[in-house]
Amino acid sequence: MNAPVAHILPTFADVEDAAKRLAGKAIETPLIESQALNERVGGRVLLKPEMLQVSGSFKFRGAYNRISRFSEDEKQRGVVAYSSGNHAQGVAAAAKLVGTRALIVMPHDAPQVKVDGVKAFGGEVRLYDRWNESREAIGAEIAAERGSVLVPPFDDFYVIAGQGTTGIELVTQARAEGAELDAVYCGASGGGVVAGIGLAVKALSPKTAMGVVEPEVYNDHVLSLKAGERVTHSPGAQSICDALMSPMPGEITFPINRTLLSEALTVSEAEVAEAMRWAFRWLKLVVEPGGAVSLAALLAGKIDAKGKTVGIVLTGGNVDPALFSQVLAGDI
């Protein structure tokens, strides 16, 4: 059995460095507060709407932090990535800004709005069968053929650091409103955004607890944290949370998250759909399923916010229009 590879893990200093690089490129998304939500949960909830970010999700932060560091030679060779859609669009948007070409390996069942988003930023799309093919193998093969740089969706030093800038903004903005956060919750696929935000939150506000939320059928963080090592969930699961369908936590992200996370929760498809409807009705925000899991946990009473100040990260809004219509109609 091969020994595990030792990775250099990013620190808060790397998140701060990413914030400098992203200044003027990424949008500093606001904090949103809803009196209706506060009254419902008996506490103060500060929502971070990353669907307002460039490319419609937090993913632009990490992608730009990585791709903007390309050498001139790397820019000539281009970037290859694999993603269900949000990292795909973030990479395509970052590549366009940096002046390099991007090819994204995406599942054939990815929401069309995400495929269209990649193409709108000038990216090339290569579709694959997520159930019978390996996106990692396809991405590596294309990168080798083209000599391109492979930028993974979460298991990358600079990607994690870039995502962490969300956490710097969250804590800083909360304090500007006179609030100290008791806890912050965020959804997870491979764990990159939770790791990055956790590095920032724990450095700036050590007493703030970090929690992760996943779909019930993609509960690999719940299982891995309990086991103390990376494990996967039951195979072949289906979920409307297409952005969170990773088989297991990352090799780089998990060592960070196992030390920073104090709670791991899951939500059902119905709870996710209800959160999407609630956000549309009360916040006037379009939140994609994977972006709504933390709000879903809060609304379902799985997060104890009574008498507390809680930060909730709404990670993205790239939802297929047909699916969103079904959710709003109550068909899901």
pLDDT on residue 279? 98
Does pLDDT of 6 surpass 80? Answer: no
Q: CATH 3.40.50.1100 spans which residues of the chain?
A: 12-57+158-328, 60-155
Question: Is the alpha carbon torsion for 128, 232, 153, 112 positive or negative?
Answer: positive
Write out the CATH class of domain 12-57+158-328: alpha beta
Q: In this predicted structure, which of 17-31, 65-79, 234-248 has the lowest mean pLDDT?
A: 234-248
Q: 164-193: buried (b, 16+ CB within 10 Å) or exposed (e) per residue?
A: bbbbbbbbebbeeeebebbbbbbbbbbbbb
Return d(Cα 125, Cα 231) in angstroms, integer: 30
pLDDT (average), residues 68-97: 96
Among 215, 90, 314, 162, CA closest to 106: 90
pLDDT on residue 184? 98
pLDDT on residue 1? 37
Task: Indicate the average pLDDT of the chain.
Answer: 96
Residue-wise pLDDT tens digits, 161-219 = 999 999 999 999 999 999 999 999 999 999 999 999 999 999 999 999 999 999 999 99
Does pLDDT of 259 surpass 50? Answer: yes
Return d(Cα 44, Cα 241) in angstroms, integer: 26
Percentage of residues in the chain with pLDDT exceeding 70? 98
Considering the segment(s) 60-155 as one domain, its CATH architecture is: 3-Layer(aba) Sandwich (3.40)
Return d(Cα 93, Cα 90) in angstroms, integer: 5
pLDDT on residue 3? 43
Q: In this predicted structure, which of 2-16, 134-148, 262-276, 286-300 has the lowest mean pLDDT?
A: 2-16
